[in-house]
């Protein structure tokens, strides 16, 4: 794994260098860079940091499609200068026109009208923490870490205590969710909550954490992304639990920043004394440095500086004691996997470590919290998107296989509980994914099993809104795919026009734009559709961008249409599982059956859609 991390680092650096060399709009096509930005605003932020608001010079111009999200590490460089200065920062906010970047300080330029470039950067600190954690686990010879490592490596058998009856704190839990919590509470080493789309996985995780706290346990709740951690924290706070968020405040949602360690410390009454000592110390330093006509007594200035240093030391001691107290008395700490800082946590251990969205985390990242675990619970769905790995070589050798997926493969059903009731999709939308990925075990809750668009307020009952499934077959209609100009992605112009017509039909029937999502596996098609669908609230994105999301109506543009039957990205069937399960009431898939039908997965999908009476051909479409 350490070797694979090095391969990943090399690939990331190579891509970063390549993105830095590109110029103009060409640099933005990969989605990992933004160019020709200006600083629109700047303001101070927590911990002496600063926040810069970046945008195009034309304030009405929207930013192009990109992969930079809140929490992404970025490198900001000044354009048009021979010496390439760079400032590392973190995306802390974004909208259609602007990006907010948290920096150590605001860049200063010698140019009159400087412009800047943002490039997605690698997280070398996180990678070093992964290497260090794996090395510590590898070399452990005794104690809990060595035992847990042996269990996770298959060298020591799983242990479960007798399952005890459970009185749920959340009265809305179903029987499947209760059983998952019971299994996890009985696990003495490790257990897995397998949560397919819409089954309330995070709700179950929150119940588990709350039950553990009631048993007097201390819990470390983690996830691979800042957004996933914030989602967990938000649910815990809403349930009345006391929790603290570790990590960079700029990476935390604004409404949750008051729960970050930085702000909890700043808001504490004891800090007022520390701040007073710092002000007095600064005044003494200023006095010692001030020039006076009268010659000061021998050693007077040294005495002032010594007194100021003692005050500063007292202030630091007060803050450090407060941090230690908060970390020791708060039952739940929340953080990203790679955001766990040993300088803050020191040698603290936790009775229970929970990793939510574990199927999206690489195994090395999971070893960071495992170092501190008494017991480990992984929650996620390995039938959806795997961890993001840019090095194809590292992915093939195992870096793209999460710890959760590996444990299920090696330890089997004994280690996991499947959540079976889903609260999102119409039963017909659910049916194919349930059969293909979840052994037909999913059950649609009665509240969603038959819901349709036509049942929503202000929506007209039409053929489009009164059914849940539709596949539009473009075979034989010359809906040919093509490479985009830079040759890095694919698009399908004719298919894009058909998507636009379907969106217009949904809008015309009374569906709000915010209730519609358009998904394509190809970035070039996403860019094209965004240009053609300028509706406020309508979301067009890649499969990755829609992970964890849902919409009342989803349209999927498959793009691929060629005589060779090549399907590219579509061969990753987990991506199609994610795309199809974003829809609540209506799913429309547009594609070429002649191209995709030679692939067994899509042959089964086409057969299912035909069985459901959802098959249409583009020849049935009304003429424009």
Higher-pLDDT residue of 281, 330: 330
pTM: 0.87
pLDDT value at residue 434: 98
Q: How does pLDDT run across 571-591, given as a tens digit for each residue?
A: 999 999 999 999 999 999 999
Whether 338 and 368 have beta carbons less than 8 Å apart is answered as yes
Quote the longest CA-to-CA distance of the chain. 99
How big, in percent rounded to 5, are the helix, strand and coil portions of the chain?
45, 20, 35
Mean pLDDT of 516-525: 96
pLDDT digits (tens, 9 = 90+) for 479-503: 999 998 877 799 999 999 999 999 9
Tens digits of per-residue pLDDT, 69-80? 877 888 888 887
Structure tokens at 428: 């017909």
Distance CA 377, CA 208 (A): 10
Q: What is the pLDDT of residues 2-27, one digit of tens each?
A: 999 999 999 988 877 776 666 656 67
pLDDT-derived band at 288 (thresholds 50, 70, 90) equals low
Helix and strand counts by DSSP (H, E) for the chain: 20, 23
Give the confidence band of 298 by pLDDT, cuts at 50, 70, 90.
Answer: low
Q: What is the pLDDT of residue 286?
A: 65
pLDDT of residue 301: 66
* Strand order across the 332-336 sheet: 243-245, 332-336, 219-223, 350-355, 373-380, 190-194, 416-418
Q: What is the pLDDT, as a whole number, of residue 65?
A: 77
> What pLDDT sits at residue 19?
66
Q: What is the mean pLDDT of the chain?
A: 90
Q: Tell me, what's the pLDDT at 281?
A: 63
Tokens of 564: 């060779």
DSSP string, 401-425: S-HHHHHHHHHGGGGEEE--EESSS
Q: How far apart are the first and last CA of the chain?
A: 55
The answer to whether the CB of 433 falls within 8 A of the CB of 456 is no
pLDDT of residue 413: 82
Cα–Cα distance, 409 to 398 (Å, whole number): 13
Give the model confidence (pLDDT) of 542-580 as tens digits: 998 898 899 999 999 999 999 999 999 899 999 999 999
Mean pLDDT of all residues in 190-210: 98
Question: Residue 244: what pLDDT?
Answer: 96
| C-beta separation of 181 from 175 below 8 A | no
pLDDT band at 104 (very low <50, low <70, confident <90, very high): confident
Give Rg (Cα) of the chain: 27
The pLDDT of residue 273: 63
342 three-state secondary structure: helix
Which among 229, 221, 220, 219 is positioned nearest to 252, based on CA atoms? 229
pLDDT of residue 61: 81
- Flag whether pLDDT at 296 surpasses 70: no
Would you say 472 and 606 are in contact if contact means Cβ atoms under 8 Å apart? Answer: no
Q: Pick from 568, 551, 558: which is nearest to 456 by CA? A: 551
Q: What's the token pair of residue 552? A: 């009342």
């Amino acid at each position: 794994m350490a070797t694979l991390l090095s391969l990943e680092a090399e690939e990331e650096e190579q891509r970063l260098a390549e993105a830095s060399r590109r110029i103009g709009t060409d640099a933005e096509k990969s989605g990992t860079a933004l160019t020709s930005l200006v600083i629109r605003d700047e303001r101070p932020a927590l911990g002496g940091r600063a926040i810069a608001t970046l945008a195009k010079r034309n304030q009405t111009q929207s930013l192009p499609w990109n992969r930079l999200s809140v929490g992404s590490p970025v490198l900001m460089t000044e354009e048009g200068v021979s010496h390439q200065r760079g400032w590392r920062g973190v995306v802390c906010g974004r909208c259609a026109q602007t990006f907010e970047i948290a920096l150590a300080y605001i860049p200063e330029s010698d140019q009159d009208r400087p412009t800047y470039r943002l490039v997605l950067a690698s997280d070398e600190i996180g990678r070093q923490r992964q290497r260090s954690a794996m090395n510590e686990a590898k070399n452990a010879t005794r104690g809990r870490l060595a035992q847990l490592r042996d269990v996770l490596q298959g060298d020591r058998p799983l242990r479960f205590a007798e399952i005890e009856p459970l009185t749920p704190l959340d009265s809305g839990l179903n029987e499947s969710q209760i059983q998952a919590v019971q299994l996890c509470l009985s696990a003495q080493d490790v257990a897995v909550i397998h949560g397919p789309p819409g089954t309330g996985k995070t709700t179950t995780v929150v119940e588990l954490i709350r039950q553990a706290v009631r048993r007097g346990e201390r819990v470390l709740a983690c996830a691979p992304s800042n957004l996933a951690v914030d989602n967990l924290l938000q649910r815990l706070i809403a349930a009345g639990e006391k929790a603290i968020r570790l990590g960079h405040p700029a990476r935390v949602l604004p409404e949750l920043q008051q729960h970050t360690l930085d702000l909890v410390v700043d808001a504490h009454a004891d800090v007022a004394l520390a701040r007073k000592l710092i002000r007095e110390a600064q005044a003494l330093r200023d006095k010692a440095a001030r020039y006076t006509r009268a010659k000061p007594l021998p050693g007077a200035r040294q005495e002032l500086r010594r007194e100021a240093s003692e005050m500063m030391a007292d202030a630091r001691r007060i803050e450090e004691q407060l941090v230690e107290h908060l970390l020791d008395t708060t039952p739940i700490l929340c953080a990203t996997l790679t955001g766990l800082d040993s300088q803050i946590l020191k040698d603290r251990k936790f009775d229970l470590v929970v990793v939510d969205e574990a199927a999206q985390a690489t195994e090395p990242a999971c070893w960071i919290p495992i170092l501190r675990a008494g017991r480990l619970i992984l929650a996620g769905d390995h039938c959806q998107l795997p961890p993001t790995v840019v090095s194809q070589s590292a992915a093939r050798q195992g870096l793209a296989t999460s710890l959760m997926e590996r444990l299920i493969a090696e330890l089997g059903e004994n280690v996991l509980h499947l959540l079976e009731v889903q609260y999102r999709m119409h039963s017909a939308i659910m049916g194919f994914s349930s059969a293909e990925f979840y052994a037909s075990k999913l059950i649609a809750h009665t509240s969603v099993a038959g819901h349709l668009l036509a049942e929503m307020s202000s929506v007209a009952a039409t053929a489009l809104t009164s059914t849940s499934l539709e596949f539009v077959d473009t075979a034989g209609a010359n809906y040919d795919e093509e490479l985009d100009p830079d040759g890095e992605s694919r698009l399908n112009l004719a298919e894009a026009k058909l998507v636009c017509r379907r969106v217009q039909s949904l809008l015309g029937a009374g569906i709000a734009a915010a209730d519609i999502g358009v998904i394509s596996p190809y970035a070039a098609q996403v860019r094209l559709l965004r240009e053609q669908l300028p509706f406020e609230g309508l979301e067009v994105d890649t499969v990755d961008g829609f992970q964890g999301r849902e919409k009342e109506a989803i349209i999927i543009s498959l793009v691929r249409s060629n005589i060779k039957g090549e399907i590219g990205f579509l061969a990753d069937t987990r991506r199609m599982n994610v795309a199809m399960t974003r829809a609540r009431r209506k799913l429309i898939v547009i594609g070429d059956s002649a191209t995709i039908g030679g692939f067994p997965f899509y042959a089964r999908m086409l057969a299912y859609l035909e069985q459901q009476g959802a098959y249409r051909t583009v020849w049935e479409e009304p003429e424009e």
